[in-house]
């Protein structure tokens, strides 16, 4: 019985979430901020993982990241909507909807062409965003202070509350996603990865699964973008730039497509490398990141997630 409980996704998630929330009280404020940003990036990475299960990698998740961020930002500044949870949720829905519209276009492509077309989309958005002066052009704009159920927290607790909110929402999303991965379309995605043509012959639609995966990935990316915007308090077109998209791909390759928590671990790793080398080697953080990235691809080609999976598989066999 206890072993069975340990293998229960909901139990694991609630345990992890409460652990993180408690730990958040004791760790310094900068680390809380770093983890919140890592969760934002991890959400986008989770989207790419969802696509990766179907054998696709998007090199343009900056597209949905930017849309999510700008949705939250514009709702905040133009419509006066400042409730963080509501903003995250609306960004999720809206970006998912945009994803659903462009997914049929993208789902026809595979491999490098899928990556390149998604990249093209994100760069078109970038080109448009830096030209619209009404929303700050290349400088972007500042988001209003966020509130929670109508209460605006005092500044020293604001970071922590956003941290808790992001953990709760991400936890729920992760659980739902775990169930999706084990559902019929989630498992067909794995088959599509192995051999698309056979899946079609067996009567399932690889196209539909890809559309569904892309829509989910878009929603997650939008939520991540909104969270990143709210955490930073600022949004600019850099959200959609191809180098940002590259970081998302980095997170998902480092994590591998086998495990959900691994994605957040990878994202946290990226953020920590970035903040530490940004602080101690401000001119060479890209160099450190690049070297680290190459080494991790050489030595753990199937990602951190493969360790997790090995660990839990051992557990199950006992």
Nearer Cβ to another protein (115/165): 115
Nearer Cβ to another protein (36/240): 240
Q: How far apart are the C-alpha atoms of 301 and 303, rounded to whole Å?
A: 6
Q: How far apart are the C-alpha atoms of 8 and 77, rounded to whole Å?
A: 42
- Residue 229 · residue 143 · CB < 8 Å: yes
Nearer Cβ to another protein (105/172): 105
Q: How many C-beta neighbours within 10 Å does residue 6 have? A: 13
* Structure token digits, residue 198: 């056979």
CB 277, min distance to another protein, A: 10
CB 66, min distance to another protein, A: 13
Phi and psi, residue 75, nearest 5°: -60, -40
Q: Which residues bind another protein (CB under 8 A)?
A: 57, 59, 105, 108-109, 111-113, 115-117, 119-121, 123-124, 126-128, 130-131, 195, 197-198, 242-243, 246, 249-250, 253, 283-287, 289-291, 293-294, 297-298, 301
- Largest Cα separation within the chain, whole Å, is 62
CB 133, min distance to another protein, A: 10
CB 304, min distance to another protein, A: 15
CB 249, min distance to another protein, A: 5
- Residue 197 · residue 26 · CB < 8 Å: no
Nearer Cβ to another protein (20/270): 270
Which are the contacts of 244, defined by CB distance < 8 A and separation ≥ 6? 62, 65, 238
Nearer Cβ to another protein (23/291): 291
User: In sequence order, what are the beta bridge partners of 188?
Assistant: none
CB 268, min distance to another protein, A: 19
What secondary structure does DSSP assign to 62-119, as a single string?
HHHHHHHHHHHHHHHHHS---BHHHHHHHHHHHHHHHHHHHHHHHTT--HHHHHHHHH
Q: How many C-beta neighbours within 10 Å does residue 19 have? A: 11
Nearer Cβ to another protein (172/294): 294
Which are the contacts of 316, defined by CB distance < 8 A and separation ≥ 6? 7
* DSSP-assigned letter for residue 234: E
Nearer Cβ to another protein (181/248): 248
């Amino acid at each position: 019985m206890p072993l069975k409980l340990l293998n229960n996704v909901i139990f694991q998630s609630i345990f992890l979430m409460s652990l993180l929330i408690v730990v958040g009280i004791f760790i310094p404020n900068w680390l809380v901020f770093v983890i919140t940003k890592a969760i934002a990036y991890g959400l986008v990475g989770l989207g790419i993982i969802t696509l990766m299960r179907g054998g696709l990698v998007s090199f343009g998740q900056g597209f949905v990241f930017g849309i999510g961020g700008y949705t939250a930002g514009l709702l905040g500044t133009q419509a006066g909507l400042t409730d963080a949870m509501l903003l995250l949720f609306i960004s999720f829905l809206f970006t998912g909807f945009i994803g659903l519209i462009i997914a049929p276009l993208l789902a026809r492509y595979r491999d490098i062409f899928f990556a390149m077309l998604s990249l093209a989309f994100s760069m078109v958005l970038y080109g448009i965003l830096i030209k619209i002066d009404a929303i700050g052009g290349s400088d972007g704009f500042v988001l209003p202070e966020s509130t929670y159920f109508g209460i605006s927290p005092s500044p020293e607790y604001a970071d922590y509350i956003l941290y808790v909110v992001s953990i709760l929402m991400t936890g729920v999303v992760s659980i739902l996603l775990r169930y999706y991965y084990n559902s019929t379309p989630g498992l067909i995605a794995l088959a599509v990865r192995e051999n698309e043509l056979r899946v079609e012959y067996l009567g399932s639609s690889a196209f539909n699964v890809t559309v569904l995966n892309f829509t989910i990935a878009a929603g997650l990316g939008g939520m991540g973008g909104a969270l990143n915007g709210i955490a930073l308090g600022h949004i600019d077109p850099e959200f959609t730039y191809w180098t940002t998209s590259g970081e998302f791909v980095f997170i998902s390759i480092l994590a591998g497509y086998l495990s959900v928590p691994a994605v957040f671990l990878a994202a946290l790793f990226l953020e920590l490398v970035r903040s530490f080398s940004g602080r101690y080697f401000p001119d060479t953080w890209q160099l450190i990141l690049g070297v680290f990235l190459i080494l991790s691809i050489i030595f753990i080609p199937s990602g951190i997630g493969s360790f997790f999976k090995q660990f839990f598989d051992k557990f199950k066999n006992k």
